[in-house]
C-alpha cells in the first residue's frame, strides 16, 4: 500500500480499537499533543494545565503552541491530576483561567476525564477514547503498541478531526477520515493545496502504519497482538504485587474503583527517598534489574527552569518524585526475575 493507503487503514483499525469515530495518525506523541491544542484553538499566551510529574514532552507541546504551562499538583494516591467532582460545572477557562487541560495517564492508569477542553495524554496506555475532546496516544518504541515512533489522535468530533488534519498536514483541505489529498486533484495546475494558515507536517508514513496494522488487527488466530501484550503486562503487575505483599513501606499507585490500569510500568512509592535507593540497590544485589526512578519534575529540568515561579510549586509531586520506582512489565521472563529480586530485597531490608 502507498500514498497514505496504509495510514488510512491503520487509522480505521485504531479508531475501532479505541472506540473513536476518527483517528489521525501522526509522526509521534508530542506532535499529537501539539496538534490537539492547535485544533482546540489554543492561542499564544493561553494557559494550559499540565502535571509536573510526567515526561516533559507534555509541557513541550504546550510551548510549541505558544501557550503557557500551568503546573498543577497531583493526587497523593493516584499521582494524576485530580478530576473535578462536577464535570458540567467546569467549562472552558474556569480552571485557574486555563484554556485547556492535559491530564496524563501516568504509568498506564486510566483516568476518566470528560471535559471538552481537555486533551487526554494517554501515551502510556491504550485506553478507550472517553469524553474528552481528544485522546492522544504514543507509539514510541517503549510504549504498549511499539512502532519505533508514531502517535494517534482520537476524537468523536468531526469538526475537531478536520481541524487536526489541517494543523498536521500543511494546511491541506482534507476530510476527517482522509489522511492524504487525492492524487488526481493534485495533478491539476489550479490545485490549491494550503487552505488554512501555515501548518506542520506531522503525518505518519505508510511503513509505520503497516507495522501498526500487524499489531492491532486480529490475525489468523483471532487474537490481536496488542491484546496479548496487554494481558502479559497484567500478569507482570500481578507478580510485582505478590512480591511486595505485606510490605508496609512500599505503596503501589492507587487504582480507584471503576478505573483500569494498563501497567505500562508497575510503579511504587517507598516511604522515604533513602529507602527507595536502598531497595533499588538491594534488588540489583539479588539479581534483578535496577528499577527506573521517576522523571525529574518538569519544572526541575534545566530547560524549563524559567517556567516555575514559586506560586506554581507542587508539594505533593515534589514529595513523591524521589520516592517513586518503576518496574518493567514488557517481558514476563524479566518481570519474574525482577519480582523475585524485589521480594528478596524487601525481606533483606525488613517489611
Q: Please give the pLDDT value at position 226.
A: 93
Q: Please give the pLDDT value at position 186.
A: 66
Say if residues 208 and 148 touch (Cβ distance below 8 Å): yes
Q: Please give the pLDDT value at position 3.
A: 56
Say if residues 120 and 136 touch (Cβ distance below 8 Å): yes
Q: Please give the pLDDT value at position 83.
A: 80
Low-confidence ranges of the chain (pLDDT < 70): 1-3, 84-96, 175-176, 180-188, 190-198, 219-222, 308-312, 351
Q: Please give the pLDDT value at position 51.
A: 95
Q: Please give the pLDDT value at position 98.
A: 86
Q: Where are the domain boundaries for CATH 3.90.1150.10 in the chain?
A: 225-349
Q: Where are the domain boundaries for CATH 3.40.640.10 in the chain?
A: 5-216
Question: Which residue has cell 495524554?
Answer: 121
- For 225-349, CATH number out of 3.10.180.10, 3.40.50.10800, 3.40.50.2000, 3.90.1150.10 equals 3.90.1150.10
CA nearest neighbour of 263 among 226, 294, 236: 236
Whole-prediction pTM: 0.91
Q: How far is 342 from 351, CA to CA, in rounded Å?
A: 12
Q: Per-residue pLDDT tens for 114-133?
A: 888 999 999 999 999 988 99
Q: How far is 210 from 196, CA to CA, in rounded Å?
A: 29
DSSP classification of residue 289? P
Q: How far is 46 from 64, CA to CA, in rounded Å?
A: 12
Q: What are the b/e assignments for 109-135, b being 16+ CB within 10 Å? A: bbbbbebbbbbbbbbbbbbebbebbbb
Q: Please give the pLDDT value at position 223.
A: 72
Q: How far is 94 from 278, CA to CA, in rounded Å?
A: 44
CA 144 to chain centroid? 10
Cα torsion 20, 151, 325, 321: sign: negative
For helices 225-243 and 206-216, what crossing angle results, to 10°? 60
- For 5-216, CATH number out of 3.30.1330.20, 3.40.50.720, 3.40.640.10, 3.60.15.10 equals 3.40.640.10
Amino acid at each position: 500500500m502507498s500514498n497514505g493507503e496504509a495510514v488510512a487503514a491503520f487509522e480505521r483499525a485504531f479508531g475501532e480499537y479505541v472506540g473513536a469515530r476518527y483517528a489521525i495518525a501522526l509522526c509521534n506523541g508530542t506532535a499529537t499533543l501539539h496538534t490537539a491544542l492547535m485544533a482546540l484553538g489554543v492561542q499564544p499566551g493561553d494557559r494550559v494545565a499540565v502535571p509536573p510529574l510526567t515526561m516533559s514532552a507534555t509541557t513541550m507541546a504546550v510551548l510549541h503552541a505558544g501557550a503557557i504551562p500551568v503546573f498543577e499538583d497531583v493526587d497523593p494516591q493516584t499521582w494524576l491530576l485530580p478530576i473535578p467532582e462536577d464535570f458540567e460545572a467546569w467549562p472552558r477557562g474556569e480552571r485557574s483561567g486555563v484554556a485547556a487541560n492535559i491530564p496524563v495517564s501516568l504509568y498506564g492508569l486510566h483516568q476518566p476525564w470528560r471535559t471538552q477542553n481537555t486533551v487526554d495524554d494517554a501515551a502510556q496506555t491504550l485506553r478507550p477514547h472517553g469524553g474528552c475532546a481528544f485522546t492522544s496516544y504514543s507509539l514510541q518504541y517503549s510504549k504498549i503498541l511499539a512502532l519505533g515512533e508514531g502517535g494517534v489522535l482520537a476524537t468523536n468530533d468531526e469538526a475537531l478531526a478536520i481541524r487536526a488534519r489541517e494543523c498536521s498536514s500543511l494546511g491541506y483541505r482534507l476530510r476527517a477520515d482522509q489522511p492524504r489529498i487525492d492524487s488526481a486533484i493534485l495533478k491539476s495546475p489550479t490545485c490549491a493545496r494550503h487552505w488554512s494558515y501555515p501548518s506542520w507536517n506531522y503525518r505518519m508514513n505508510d511503513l509505520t502504519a503497516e507495522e501498526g496494522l500487524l499489531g492491532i488487527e486480529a490475525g489468523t488466530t483471532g487474537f490481536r497482538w496488542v491484546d496479548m501484550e496487554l494481558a502479559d503486562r497484567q500478569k507482570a503487575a500481578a507478580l510485582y504485587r505478590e512480591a511486595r505483599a505485606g510490605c508496609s513501606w512500599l505503596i503501589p499507585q492507587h487504582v480507584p474503583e471503576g478505573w483500569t490500569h494498563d501497567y505500562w510500568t508497575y510503579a511504587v512509592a517507598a516511604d522515604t527517598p533513602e529507602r527507595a535507593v536502598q531497595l533499588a540497590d538491594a534488588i540489583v544485589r539479588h539479581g534483578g534489574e535496577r528499577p527506573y526512578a521517576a522523571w525529574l519534575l518538569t519544572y526541575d529540568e534545566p530547560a524549563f527552569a524559567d517556567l516555575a515561579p514559586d506560586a506554581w510549586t507542587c508539594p505533593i509531586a515534589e514529595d513523591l518524585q524521589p520516592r517513586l520506582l518503576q518496574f518493567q512489565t514488557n517481558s514476563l521472563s524479566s518481570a519474574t526475575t525482577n519480582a523475585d529480586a524485589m521480594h528478596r530485597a524487601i525481606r533483606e531490608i525488613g517489611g
